[in-house]
Chain A
Amino acid sequence: QVQLVESGGGVVQPGGSLRLSCAASGFTFSNYGMHWVRQVPGKGLEWVALIKYDGTDEYPGSVKGRFSLSRDNSKNTLSLQMNSLRPDDTAVYYCAKEGYGGYGCFDFWGQGTLVTVSS
């Protein structure tokens, strides 16, 4: 069965950096786009990053230039490098697998990892 396990969350000061990881299993990782979606506790979902099967990446304006997504298809892992972190980046970060042809459909999600940006 598909499993996505996030790690790397924690507390970081404003302006700092953090690297999140997602370990995937149960499917052919190299064939699928992978995303990160975040959720401020008690609030809604926000799409944060995409890396397609071919390595093409995309980000919304809120994190572009600060976040960078990479993948290691040999290890079935996804990494989100977050730099210049701000308090409004505080959220639970979910790793999600693209499904059903992609285009913003996420068919499996991890359980999330909490990132807190605070001094």
Chain B
Amino acid sequence: QSALTQPPSASGSPGQSVTISCTGTSSDVGGYYFVSWYQQHPGKAPKLMMYEVSKRPSGVPDRFSGSKSGNTASLTVSGLQAEDEADYYCSSYAGSNTVLFGGGTKLTVL
């Protein structure tokens, strides 16, 4: 099993929208609606931002949204704010109780 593919970097100006992609295969992203997204600030533990493709945990702003098409999932951050600058990781259930992560995307707010 290989890691999911994410772009290494993404950027946008305050107030803009940015979308981060996460590409897998039919055995993981494409095969299940169990894609999650995590935000990680430097030196901190990851924080769950999205689960089951498009569901937001309590407390996550509705500026964050998720979607999936085929083998690619996406996280969109609208109305970018300075505090959104962080690393973002996707993960997907890959069957047989296993989980795959993406390589991570560094989001820069210009």
A and B form one complex: yes
Within 8 A of B (CB), among A67-119: 94, 99-101, 103-112
A44 within 8 A of partner (CB): yes
A24 within 8 A of partner (CB): no
B107 to chain A, nearest CB (A): 14
A52 within 8 A of partner (CB): yes
Complex Cα distance, B97 from A83, in Å, reads 22
Whether B51 lies near A105 (C-beta < 8 A) is yes
Instruction: Point out the residues of chain A lying under 8 angstroms from B93, CB to CB.
Output: 103-104
Complex Cα distance, B101 from A112, in Å, reads 17
Known interface pairs A44-B102, A56-B97. Does A106 touch B36 (Cβ–Cβ under 8 Å)? yes
Chain B, Cβ-Cβ closest to A50: B97
What's the interface size class on A, roughly?
20 to 34
Whether A111 lies near B45 (C-beta < 8 A) is yes
Instruction: Point out the residues of chain A lying under 8 angstroms from B51, CB to CB.
Output: 99-100, 105, 107
B52 to chain A, nearest CB (A): 7
A45 within 8 A of partner (CB): yes
Give chain A's interface secondary structure class: loop
B68 within 8 A of partner (CB): no
Interchain CB contact (< 8 A) of B99 among A47, A61, A101: A47
Instruction: Point out the residues of chain A lying under 8 angstroms from B91, CB to CB.
Output: 45, 47, 104-106
Whether B38 lies near A100 (C-beta < 8 A) is no
Apart from A100-B52, A105-B48, A107-B48, list 4 A-B contacts with CB within 8 A: A45-B46, A99-B57, A109-B45, A110-B45
A-B contact pairs, 30 of them (CB 8 A): A35-B99, A37-B46, A44-B3, A44-B89, A45-B46, A45-B89, A45-B91, A45-B101, A46-B3, A47-B98, A47-B100, A50-B98, A50-B99, A56-B97, A58-B96, A61-B1, A99-B48, A99-B57, A100-B52, A104-B92, A104-B99, A105-B36, A105-B51, A105-B91, A106-B38, A106-B48, A108-B48, A109-B45, A110-B45, A111-B45
Which A residues are within 8 Å of any B CB, using their own CB? Answer: 35, 37, 43-47, 50, 52, 56, 58, 60-61, 94, 99-101, 103-112
Q: Which 4 A-B pairs have CB atoms at the shortest separation, nearest pair first?
A: A104-B99, A103-B34, A58-B97, A109-B45
